[in-house]
């Protein structure tokens, strides 16, 4: 038996396992792995770097990060700089995940690759672990605390009724790689479209990764058709892509949003996108994932020491204090970006009050409020933990 089972080896899950292992907790990190077909690049902003620094991982992240030449907000022909050279960076999702899981393993966590976490083990209404499947066998793994950090499609969170997706998909996301874009950007660009937004990210080989989010359109619409429909609302961006060739994808990514009314239940805590995710234009997601993983680990430690503690309620309180205002701002920005009048306000703010534009779109306001120096390596906790019967 382990004391804590962590489902999902992305930033949230790996950081949670790392923090727990440093305290001498018997923790198992189960990671199903990324979809090998979808290219994943993650933007690392100042808030995310601060969060990684707070848990002692800044050097591991910067070692695999490629600095960006800048971050620009664009609406039609207008361009506003939100970040200069070196202020933000890009990292491959697979590379980042592998590095974080290796750090967790060095700290003492058991790391199992290619393992899916499925149905919870229930003792009445309390989660006491989960079933693990590696493709050939299925095992039951008891745990005093379970942390679900396995993404917006979390099987564990959904089976407990903790994570919900909209019944009607009103927004969709499509990703594709292009070669031959006219005037390819040196840094990342955020384009405000009539019905959404697009991010153009330069890749090392001269190609670009285009990530478009907007209205879902008609049922059954092909991903590439949806991407071109949304991009067509910005003639300037569309003209730069007119001769570009699709060399990867397109991939439909979704759902764009997932709702978790509370970040867990008795015996289970949620972190990362499994705790709910909202469509954002800026670099807030990674910061929230890292700090959310650290918060879940600290609450798990408290539950191990005080089994009577309602961990999910404590986690909700800490998450609200750490980044509740930040997420509300991100939602407000997304709503503004979906309307022409709101777009004009955003562009005006970014152009005339640079600090505001950098904060709401670039993730510069994000601070490691959910992570503290207490999450750095420390001596293991003392005493035995009462195991569930």
CB 115 within 8 A of CB 141: no
pLDDT at 124 over 90: yes
With vertex at residue 228, the alpha carbon angle to CA 227 and CA 234, rounded to the nearest 5 degrees, is 105
pLDDT at 298 over 80: yes
Counting the structural domains of the chain, the total is: 2
CATH number at residue 219: 3.30.9.100
For residue 320, the enclosing domain spans 2-71+86-165+257-375
Question: What's the pLDDT at 256?
Answer: 60
9 within domain boundaries:
yes
Average pLDDT value for the chain: 84
Cis peptide bond N-terminal to 250, omega within 30: yes
Question: What's the pLDDT at 381?
Answer: 53
Return the H-helix or E-strand segment holding 126: strand 126-133
Name, in order, each residue with C-beta under 8 angstroms of 306's C-beta and a sequence gap of 6 or more.
none
Strand 196-202 relative to strand 264-265, pairing: unpaired
Whole-prediction pTM value? 0.87
Per DSSP, helices labelled H in 25-70 are 46-54, 58-64
DSSP state of 335: H
Cis peptide bond N-terminal to 350, omega within 30: no
Confidence of residue 387 (pLDDT cuts 50, 70, 90): very low
Most confident of 7-11, 194-198, 351-355, 379-383: 7-11
**Which domain-ending residue is among 222, 253, 284?**
253
Confidence of residue 281 (pLDDT cuts 50, 70, 90): low
Give the Cβ contact number of residue 102 at 10 Å: 13
Question: What's the pLDDT at 235?
Answer: 94
> CA-CA distances (angstroms) from residue 338 to 171, 213, 218, 259, 329?
11, 10, 18, 20, 14
* Same structural domain, 97 and 159: yes
78 within domain boundaries:
no
Task: In whole angstroms, give the CA distance from residue 346 to residue 82.
Answer: 12
Confidence of residue 282 (pLDDT cuts 50, 70, 90): low
CATH number at residue 19: 3.50.50.60
Question: What's the pLDDT at 364?
Answer: 59
* Same structural domain, 25 and 123: yes
Task: In whole angstroms, give the CA distance from residue 202 to residue 148.
Answer: 32
Query: 152-166 burial string, b = 16+ CB within 10 Å, else e?
Result: bebbbbbebebbeee
* Same structural domain, 269 and 228: no
* Same structural domain, 208 and 271: no
* Same structural domain, 291 and 216: no
Name, in order, each residue with C-beta under 8 angstroms of 64's C-beta and a sequence gap of 6 or more.
91, 92, 95, 96, 99
Question: What's the pLDDT at 378?
Answer: 47
Return the H-helix or E-strand segment holding 55: none
**Which domain-ending residue is among 232, 253, 274?**
253
* Same structural domain, 275 and 355: yes
CA quadruple 355, 358, 361, 366: dihedral, nearest 10: -90
Question: What's the pLDDT at 373?
Answer: 41
Placement of tokens 């907007």 in the chain? 214
* Same structural domain, 281 and 328: yes
């Amino acid at each position: 038996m382990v004391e804590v089972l962590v489902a999902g080896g992305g930033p949230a899950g790996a950081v949670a396992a790392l923090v727990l292992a440093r305290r001498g907790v018997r923790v198992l990190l189960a990671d199903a792995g990324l979809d090998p077909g979808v290219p994943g690049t993650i933007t690392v902003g100042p808030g995310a770097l601060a969060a990684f620094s707070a848990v002692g991982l800044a050097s591991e992240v910067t070692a695999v990060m490629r600095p960006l030449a800048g971050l620009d907000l664009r609406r039609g022909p207008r361009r506003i700089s939100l970040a200069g050279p070196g202020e933000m960076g890009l990292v491959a999702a697979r590379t980042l995940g592998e590095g974080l899981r290796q750090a967790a393993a060095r700290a003492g966590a058991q790391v199992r690759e290619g393992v899916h976490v499925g149905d919870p083990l229930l003792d009445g209404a309390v989660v006491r672990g989960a079933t693990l499947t590696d493709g050939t066998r299925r095992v039951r793994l008891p745990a005093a605390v379970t942390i679900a950090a396995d993404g917006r499609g979390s099987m564990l969170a959904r089976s407990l009724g903790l994570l919900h997706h909209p019944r009607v998909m009103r927004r969709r996301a499509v990703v594709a790689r292009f070669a031959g874009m006219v005037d390819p950007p040196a840094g990342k660009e955020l384009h405000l479209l009539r019905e959404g937004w697009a991010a153009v990210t330069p890749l090392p080989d001269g190609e670009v990764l285009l990530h478009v989010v907007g209205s879902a359109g008609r049922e059954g619409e092909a991903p590439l058709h949806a991407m071109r429909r949304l991009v067509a609302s910005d003639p300037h961006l569309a003209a730069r892509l007119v001769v570009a060739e699709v060399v990867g994808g397109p991939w439909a990514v979704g759902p764009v949003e997932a709702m978790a009314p509370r970040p867990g239940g008795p015996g289970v805590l949620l972190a990362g996108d499994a705790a709910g995710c909202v469509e954002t234009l800026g670099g807030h997601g990674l910061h929230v994932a890292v700090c959310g993983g650290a918060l879940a680990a600290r609450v798990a430690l408290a539950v191990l020491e005080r089994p009577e503690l309602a961990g999910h309620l404590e986690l909700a309180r800490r998450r609200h204090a750490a980044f509740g205002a930040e997420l509300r701002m991100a939602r407000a920005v997304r709503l503004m970006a979906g309307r022409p009048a709101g777009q004009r306000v955003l562009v005006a703010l970014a152009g005339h009050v640079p600090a505001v534009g950098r904060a709401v779109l670039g993730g510069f306001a994000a601070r490691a409020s959910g992570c503290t120096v207490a999450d750095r390596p420390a001596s293991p906790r003392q005493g035995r933990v009462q195991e569930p019967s």
